[in-house]
Structures are given as structure tokens and as C-alpha cells.
Structure 1
Amino acid sequence: MKVVLEKVFPLAATVDNAWQLMQDIEAVAGCMPGAKITERVDATHYKGTITVRLGPAVMSFKGDIEVVDLDAAARSLHLIGKGADTSGTSAASMDLVAAVQASGEACELVGKSEVTMSGKAASLGGRLMGPVSEQMLKQFVANFATRLQGMQPQPGAVPASAAPGETGSQPQPQPHAVAPDPSPPPPELNGLALAWAVVRDWLRGLFSRKTA
């Protein structure tokens, strides 16, 4: 079963900060609930895991991530990930192309992903796979945006600089700090919670049409 998603998300951050974060593969992976980089093989190959809960069942996937292309001029990233459930009953793969584009003083995250699942995971997901994948993407972007906010200078922040005529001086503590890193995503992806979010959004749209 394959799902193709093409989305554009506005981000309240500069394009330079967004691109800086996008180049950090471990941080990007950490924005996906339940996902984690476990090993960096080399500059373009990683090993990782993602854990998904479907009611009482917990599925843990282990796989490989390849950075196919990292284009600084286009500020784009191309990743391919492949993995299998540790029980050997399911397999999944993802082909992702993402880019950040300037939009005024802020920027946009533009992405296209192809997600393919087979085995038990595909049979459990069924027709909900597409909507659930969209909810997963929304959670990922929300976490990505939160990390970006942690990179933005806070109002009143004073850049560190050496006094005139001094060289080799140590930077002095500043009265204002950059916002701390956000709380980590949940250790596992709750598939039923995502399914409920899909149903909730569908009901909201249904009643909106009736009252229009």
C-alpha cells in the first residue's frame, strides 16, 4: 500500500534557520513522534527506529536512512528510509524530498513523500493510512516549528562581542538567552490517537458544511 503526500507549511522563522535545522538529520528525525536515530554509519547513512502503538499492539521498526542529496543552493533534502518490524511481519519505506523557501521575512516548508507499507502494518492501517499519514506529517511539522522557535533570538538578546582593542577574550554571559530546546516527542507513535484525530477533523468538516 502506497501513500503520496505533497504539502506546503508556513514556518515562523527565517529561511536560513530552517535550512540550518534541516541539515541536522538527527534533529529532523527527532521531530517525528516515535522515531530515533540510533547510529550514524557515515555522513549520508544512518540507522534508526520508530515505534508505533495500535491499541494493545506495539510495533517497533528498525531500518536504514540514506541522505541521497543535500542541495545547499536549493535548500533541499532528499531522504530514503527502509525498515522492517522486529517481528518480521511488516515492512515500510519512505522517499522524502523537502525544501525550505523564503516567504517574506519567514519561510515555507515544501515537501513530497511516498510512504509504502506491507504486511501486518498495512492490513491494520487499511483505508486510514492516508489520513493518518497526514496527521503524522502535521505532528512532524509542529515539532519542527517548535525546534525552530528555539533557534530564534529572543527580544532584547544582546549579541556577544569583544571589547574594542581586545583579542582572545572569553565571551561574557548575556542577560537574555535563546529559548531552550523543546520537549522531546512521545517515545512512541500512538496510531489510535492519530486515527481519532482523523475522525475528529472529518466530523468538524461535516458539521461545518451542515451549518453553512
Structure 2
Amino acid sequence: MKVVIEKVFPLASTADAAWQCLQDIEAVGNCMPGARITERVDATHYKGTVTVRVGPAMMSFRGNIEVVGLDAALHTLHLVGKGSDLTGTSGASMDLVATVQASGASCELVGKSEVTMSGKAAAFGGRMMNTVADQILKQFVANFAALVEAESIAQDSPSSGDPVVGAVEIAGAAAASPVPASAPASGLAPATASAPAPATELNGLALAWAILRDWLRGLLSRKTA
């Protein structure tokens, strides 16, 4: 089963600041709820894990990430990831292209992703997978916006030797609570040094509500048809 996801998210930062953070694969990986980079094989290859929890149910994937391209002129990152769950019953692959586009004094993060699921994971169906992806992306963008803002603060700090490392420290040490997945992407407020740390897993309550909402919409549309 394949799901194609195309999204545009506004960011309250300059395009150059967002692009600087987007090039750091490990920092970007930490912004993804439930994701963790476990090993840097070389400059373009990484190993990692992704865990998604919805109530008592949990799926954990382990796989490889390849940086296919980094285009500084176009501010574009191209990633390909492949993996399987720890039980060996499901597989997943992702082809992601993310671009930072200037928009006045701020910018937008434009992304297109093709996600292919196999095995038990494919049984969720396209509608549910789109709902899951939407919630994950909302949390990711909120965390990424906080990282970009923290990176700007770290650059202004004379004690910070590595801007991106300093940004991760600032964003992570400020608070331990996850960023709610229900926050609207269009209403992202500028992050500050007190921005929440990246969520460790997908917000299950927000996801459950989104799935129920979509199911009710589908039911009502069939009744009125």
C-alpha cells in the first residue's frame, strides 16, 4: 500500500536558518516523534528506529536512511528510508523531498513523501495512514520550528561552539513535555528558548481523535449520498 503526502508548513524563521538545520540529519531525526538516529554510518547513511504508539498498540521499525541529495542552491533535502518492524511482520519505505522556500521575511517547509507499507502495517488502510502521517507531520514541524529558533539563539550565544548542537541542547533542556499533535500547522508561533523538547512518540490521544473524526465524516457522507 502506497500513500503520497504533500504538505506546506509556514515557519517563523528565515530560509537560511531553516536550511542550516535541515542539513543536520541527526537533529532533524530527533524532531520526528518516535524517531531516533542510532548510528551514523557515514556522511550519507544512517541507521535508526521509529516507534508509533496508539493506546496499548505499538509499532516499532528499525531501518536505514540514505541522504540521496542535498541541494544548497534550491534548499532541498532528498531522503530515502527503508525498514521493518521488530517482529518481522511489517515493512515500510519512504521517499522524502523537503524544500525550504523563502516567503518574505519568513519561510515555508514544503514536503512530498511517498510511503509504502507492507505486511500487517498495510492493513490499516489508506485513510488511517493519511491520518497518522498528518499527525506525525504536525508534531515534526512544531519540533523543527523550535529547533530552528533555538539554533538562532545558540548562534547569538558566545558560549556556543557548535550552533546546531547548541540548538539541540537549548530545545531539549528547556522542558520535558511533548509538543501536542493537535496544534494547527498554520498557527505555529515563533519558538523560544523555552520551547518543549521533541516528542518521544506520536500523541496517541490526538491520533485517536483524528481517526474517529475521519471515520464519522466517512459514515455521514455515505448516509447523505
Runs of 4+ in 1 over 6 A off after TM superposition: 201-204
Match of 1:15 in 2: 15
8 Å contact from structure 2 (residues 21, 148) kept in 1: yes
Question: Partners of 1:36 and 1:152 in 2: how far apart?
Answer: 23
SS across alignment from 2:81: strand
Show the 5 A alignment for 1:1-212: 1-124=1-124, 127-153=127-153, 180-181=170-171, 182-191=195-204, 193-200=206-213
1:162-202 residue CA offsets vs partner (Å, 9 max, x unmatched): xxxxxxxx99xxxxx98931443333335564131344588
Question: Partners of 1:3 and 1:191 in 2: how far apart?
Answer: 21
8 Å contact from structure 1 (residues 30, 37) kept in 2: yes
Question: Partners of 2:156 and 2:146 in 1: how far apart?
Answer: 22
Structure 1's 127 and 158: CA in aligned 2 closer, same or farther, altered over 3 A? closer
Q: What is the TM-score of this pair, normalised by structure 1?
A: 0.78
Question: Partners of 2:41 and 2:87 in 1: how far apart?
Answer: 24
Question: Partners of 1:127 and 1:74 in 2: how far apart?
Answer: 32
Q: What is the TM-score of this pair, normalised by structure 2?
A: 0.74
Q: State the aligned residue count.
A: 188
Q: Which runs of 5+ in 2 are unaligned?
A: 161-165, 172-194, 218-225
In structure 2, give the amino acid aligned to 1:187: T
RMSD: 2.9
8 Å contact from structure 2 (residues 131, 210) kept in 1: no
Identify the range of structure 1 (143-152 vs 122-131) with the bigger mean alpha-carbon deviation: 122-131
8 Å contact from structure 2 (residues 95, 113) kept in 1: yes
Question: Partners of 2:19 and 2:81 in 1: how far apart?
Answer: 20
In structure 2, give the amino acid aligned to 1:13: S
SS across alignment from 1:152: helix
8 Å contact from structure 1 (residues 49, 60) kept in 2: yes
1:37-73 residue CA offsets vs partner (Å, 9 max, x unmatched): 0000000000000112233232211000000000111
Q: Which runs of 5+ in 1 are unaligned?
A: 161-169, 172-176, 205-212
Structure 1's 108 and 202: CA in aligned 2 closer, same or farther, altered over 3 A? farther
In structure 2, give the amino acid aligned to 1:110: V
8 Å contact from structure 1 (residues 90, 119) kept in 2: yes
Deviation at 1:203, TM superposition (A): 7.4
Question: Partners of 1:192 and 1:124 in 2: how far apart?
Answer: 17
- Identical aligned pairs, as a percentage? 68
Identify the range of structure 1 (57-66 vs 31-40) with the bigger mean alpha-carbon deviation: 57-66
Max Rg structure: 1
SS across alignment from 2:170: coil
Higher helix share: 2
